[in-house]
Structure 1
Amino acid sequence: MSDCQLYLISPLDVAGAYPDRLTRALDAGPVAAFQFRVKGFDEHEAARLADPLQRICADRDVAFIVNDSISLAKRLGADGVHLGQGDGDVGEARQRLGRDAQIGVTCHDSRHLAMEAGEAGADYVAFGVFYPTTTKQTEHVATPDLLTWWQELFEIPCVAIGGITPENAAPLVEAGADFLAVSHAVWGGDEAAAVKAFAAILKG
């Protein structure tokens, strides 16, 4: 049905047994990318937390993407960075991280922001939220037709994010999402079972 892939986003708490949970999730089914998303740590502590997770991803050929921080991505030698609208621009990220870095941009429900990101050289754009989510405050709601519009006009991959579960993912896949970005749907329960459930949908 699709070439849509799974893009895991970390919970805010990645200490303790979390590396074991990440290992279970990545071993349960195909995952294209993992986004390291922690808040409230200085860069040194964030790098310490990221280290085991980055190794787990590298061993499984999963792209390791840092949320928000170009400097942390540079420090870690990460595969890329995901930028919110207030986190710096694509040009700066490209200059600091190199031409091979994967740079993604949050575009909410905005066609204009997505086109700007594409013109600036982003490697992917992220639209959302599509469904109610507890992971972060919802200010922008996107609809599946946004994914279809993007696919018809642009070559750059698009990511769907926001409240996505195995039960509600199918319309987003059908609409043209290249990636489903998920966090609570995986980490809120049995991560291996959740990844397997997403894998079944993405196989079509």
Structure 2
Amino acid sequence: MTPRPDYAGLRFPRGLYGITPDTDDTGMLLDAIAAAARGGLRSLQWRRKHSASPEALLSQGQAIAGLCRELGLVFIVNDDWKLAQLLAADGVHLGRDDGDLAATRAALGPARIIGVSCYADLARAQDLLAQGADYIAFGAVYPSPTKPEAARVPLELLAQARAQLEQLPAPRPAMVAIGGIHAGNAAPVVQAGADALAIIQGIFQATDIEAAARACAQAFV
């Protein structure tokens, strides 16, 4: 049996976790990802909710997967485990409506990363951890323009979740925080226990993407 990845005692890399903006401009995305990697990006989630065609979607996914391999970034596909499998991605991120974790694990095997959205629900996180999630994601920590309706997650909840994770054997699942995070507010989230910060606009809509990524990554120093 192939072992799960071990990222210094975690099952997902500690640090900056970029999430791509939804765009058909693949060239722009590739340039942005490369710039973020120079600034300290450790992992990337490719998130597409809309695409001109299945062919265009696959083409963009292949280009991003190849760049992530070249740069040494952990590559996660949002929502779609079949697409993750097709792209030989490192894993998939599942929301509430994106399928059953156990079935996804059976399809992808033991080595691939499965991350899950837990919103502001600690009980959901506990259930999904028991099912074998490799990371649990809580958000929105701060008001998020991407999902303005999302429930807010107090830093105290992150601290509670981290305390529970610390009781699990290594390599343990990681905790990801998402929602409105940028260089100016990242440090308290890491101090509360987040292993990784999932950021879209705070990196990819910055005027200087490399500098924004570097500033966000400083929260882990």
What's the TM-score once normalised by structure 2's chain length?
A: 0.86
Cα distance 1:96–1:44, how it changes in 2: closer, same or farther (>3 A)?
farther
Cα distance 1:139–1:198, how it changes in 2: closer, same or farther (>3 A)?
closer
Q: Deviations over 1:152-188 (max 9, x none)?
A: 1124211000000110111111110000000000111
Query: Is 1:100 aligned to 2:111, yes or no?
Result: yes
Q: Do 2:14 and 2:195's aligned partners in 1 also have CA atoms closer than 8 Å?
A: yes
Aligned to 2:215: 197
Q: CA deviation at 1:46?
A: 1.6
Please, what is the CA RMSD of the aligned residues?
Answer: 1.5
Q: Runs of 4 or more off by more than 6 Å in structure 1?
A: none
Aligned to 1:171: 188
**Structure 1: runs of 5+ lacking an equivalent:** none
Q: CA deviation at 1:200?
A: 2.1
- Helix, strand or coil: the match of 2:149? coil
Aligned to 1:10: 20
- Helix, strand or coil: the match of 2:190? helix
In 1: Cα distance, 2:81 partner to 2:14 partner = 26
Query: Is 1:88 aligned to 2:106, yes or no?
Result: no
Query: Is 1:19 aligned to 2:37, yes or no?
Result: no
**Structure 2: runs of 5+ lacking an equivalent:** 1-12
* Residue identity (%): 37
Q: Pick from 44, 48, 54: which aligns with 1:38?
A: 48
Q: Do 2:22 and 2:50's aligned partners in 1 also have CA atoms closer than 8 Å?
A: no
In 2: Cα distance, 1:106 partner to 1:5 partner = 18
In 2: Cα distance, 1:143 partner to 1:43 partner = 39
Q: How many residues align?
A: 200
Query: Is 1:182 aligned to 2:199, yes or no?
Result: yes
Q: CA deviation at 1:70?
A: 1.1
In 2: Cα distance, 1:19 partner to 1:177 partner = 27
Q: Do 2:174 and 2:195's aligned partners in 1 also have CA atoms closer than 8 Å?
A: yes
Cα distance 1:13–1:197, how it changes in 2: closer, same or farther (>3 A)?
same
Q: CA deviation at 1:59?
A: 1.1
In 1: Cα distance, 2:71 partner to 2:32 partner = 14
Q: Pick from 152, 160, 174: which aligns with 1:157?
A: 174
In 2: Cα distance, 1:194 partner to 1:147 partner = 24
